[in-house]
Amino acid sequence: DTGVSQDPRHKITKRGQNVTFRCDPISEHNRLYWYRQTLGQGPEFLTYFQNEAQLEKSRLLSDRFSAERPKGSFSTLEIQRTEQGDSAMYLCASSNAGAGDGGYTFGSGTRLTVV
Amino acid sequence: EDQVTQSPEALRLQEGESSSLNCSYTVSGLRGLFWYRQDPGKGPEFLFTLYSAGEEKEKERLKATLTKKESFLHITAPKPEDSATYLCAVQGATNKLIFGTGTLLAVQP
């Protein structure tokens, strides 16, 4: 297993368009997290799944954002009607319950630019 | 509300000049304090987890310590390849990590 994979690495979109990102976690990890990071800031929590169940969503996650993890494996994050304020790095991480000594393993992120 | 504050925001060191980064936190029911390293354009890379006051962990030139209110990341005789942003995060009663804004470390040869 090569770690957490995110696709695409970069996405440029016009304001008002919809975008979808994919995350493939480490296969034996049952928890998957989405974070957003803007320049000079630490990652901000968006949502997380345990297996296929979405257990928590941040207040930051407006109704334009939706995340799924249909079979408890990969996950998608969709942003509808993108706005310039959505420009950020979107990070995915995975862990086993409790994180433990391994912490969360992060992917390299998808950098979104809304023009 | 769980909160993490890191200082300084940026630190410039000469190669071999040891120093420490600070992470102050408030959290309900600390389940773990995490240190990550992040290189430009990449995701955070896990370094350490600390669970209770008095705990210490080391990895190469890095040593992390924990008290009831703060954590320190000590960097001994740093090299230019240690240049990165160092992020601190806490896990409280919920399963999410709450991150600080990070310390940008630059080590000059």
Which residues of A fall within a CB distance of 8 Å from B31? 98
pLDDT at A103 over 80: no
CATH pick for B3-93 out of 2.170.120.12, 3.30.70.360, 3.40.190.10, 2.60.40.10? 2.60.40.10
- Chain A residue with Cα closest to B9: A40
Which residues of B fall within a CB distance of 8 Å from A40? 101
What percent of chain B has pLDDT above 90? Answer: 87
Interface touch A56/B96, C-beta < 8 Å: yes
Which pLDDT tens digit goes with each residue over A6-40?
999 999 999 999 999 999 999 888 899 999 999 99
Confidence of residue B93 (pLDDT cuts 50, 70, 90): confident
**Contacts with A, B 12-31, CB within 8 Å:** 31
Angle (CA) A43 A46 A51, round 5°: 115
In 3-state terms, what secondary structure has residue B17? coil
Closest CA relative to residue A76, chosen from A2, A26, A25: A25
**Whether A103 contacts chain B with CB within 8 A:** yes
Nearest to B44 among A43, A45, A98 (CB): A43
Distance between first and last Cα of chain A:
36
Angle (CA) B50 B40 B3, round 5°: 40
Q: Which pLDDT score, from 0 to 100, does residue A102 have?
A: 60
Interface touch B43/A4, C-beta < 8 Å: yes
Nearest to B32 among A40, A48, A99 (CB): A99
Phi first, then psi: what are they for B81, rounded to 5°?
A: -70, -5
Q: Which pLDDT score, from 0 to 100, does residue B3 have?
A: 93
pLDDT at A2 over 60: yes
- How far, CA to CA in Å, does A55 sit from each of A52, A68, A81, B52, B95? 9, 11, 25, 27, 10
What percent of chain A has pLDDT above 70? Answer: 94
Q: Which residue has the tokens 């806490």?
A: B90
Which residues of B fall within a CB distance of 8 Å from A7? none
Contact present, B100 and B42 (Cβ < 8 Å): no
